C-alpha cells in the first residue's frame, strides 16, 4: 500500500502513519508541547478536529507563550468557521511573535490591501495608536 492509497475510512495511509507516530511521540515525550502540536496537526488531517483542538489547548497550557501554537490553533478554528475564536488566537499569536514591531502588526492589513503609500501607512499607524491610547512612539517597539 503506497502513501497515496486510501483506506476504507477514506484516510490517506500516510496521514494514518503520521497519526500513529505522533501519538506515540506525544506519549513517550511526556506530553511535550511540540509533540502535542504535531499530534493535533495529524488529527486535523484525518478530520478529528475536536481531538486536535484538545491537544492544541494542552500544548498551549504547557507553553502559553509559544506564538506558533496559538497560530496553529487559530488555523484550526478558522477551518471550523469559529471566526471570533480564530481571530482571538491569531491576535494572541501576533502579540507573542517577537519578529514584528507594533507598527508592522498594525500596518500589515493596510499593506495586504494596498492602502496608500508607505508614508501614508506610517502616518495612519501612528494615528491609530493614538486613537487607542498608545504613544505613537511605540511604533518601533516589540509587543
Q: Quick check: 93 and 68 in contact, CB under 8 A?
A: yes
Judged against a pLDDT cut of 60, whether residue 109 lies above it is answered with yes
**Average pLDDT value for residue range 82-89:** 92
All three cell numbers of 61, joined, read 497550557
pLDDT at residue 2 in the model? 44
Beta bridge partners of 10: none
Query: What does the DSSP 8-state code read for residue 3?
Result: T
Site of grid cell 481531538:
51
Confidence at 17, pLDDT banded by 50, 70, 90: confident
14: nearest Cα among 22, 24, 5, 23:
5
Question: Cα–Cα distance between 65 and 29 in angstroms, integer?
Answer: 20
**HSE (CB half, 13 Å, CA atoms) of 104?**
11
Q: What is the pTM of this model?
A: 0.63
pLDDT of residue 6: 46
For residues 58-81, give the mean pLDDT.
Answer: 94
Amino acid at each position: 500500500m503506497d502513501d497515496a492509497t486510501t483506506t476504507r475510512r477514506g484516510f490517506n495511509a500516510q496521514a494514518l502513519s503520521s497519526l500513529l507516530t505522533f501519538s506515540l511521540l506525544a506519549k513517550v515525550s511526556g506530553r511535550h508541547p511540540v509533540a502535542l502540536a504535531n499530534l493535533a496537526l495529524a488529527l486535523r488531517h484525518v478530520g478529528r478536529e475536536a481531538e486536535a483542538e484538545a491537544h492544541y489547548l494542552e500544548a498551549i497550557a504547557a507553553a502559553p507563550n509559544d506564538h506558533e501554537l496559538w497560530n496553529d490553533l487559530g488555523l484550526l478554528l478558522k477551518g471550523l468557521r469559529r471566526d471570533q475564536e480564530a481571530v482571538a488566537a491569531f491576535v494572541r499569536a501576533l502579540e507573542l511573535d517577537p519578529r514584528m514591531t507594533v507598527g508592522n502588526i498594525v500596518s500589515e492589513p493596510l499593506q495586504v490591501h494596498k492602502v496608500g503609500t508607505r508614508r501614508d501607512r506610517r502616518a495612519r499607524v501612528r494615528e491609530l495608536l493614538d486613537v487607542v491610547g498608545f504613544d505613537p512612539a511605540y511604533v518601533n517597539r516589540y509587543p
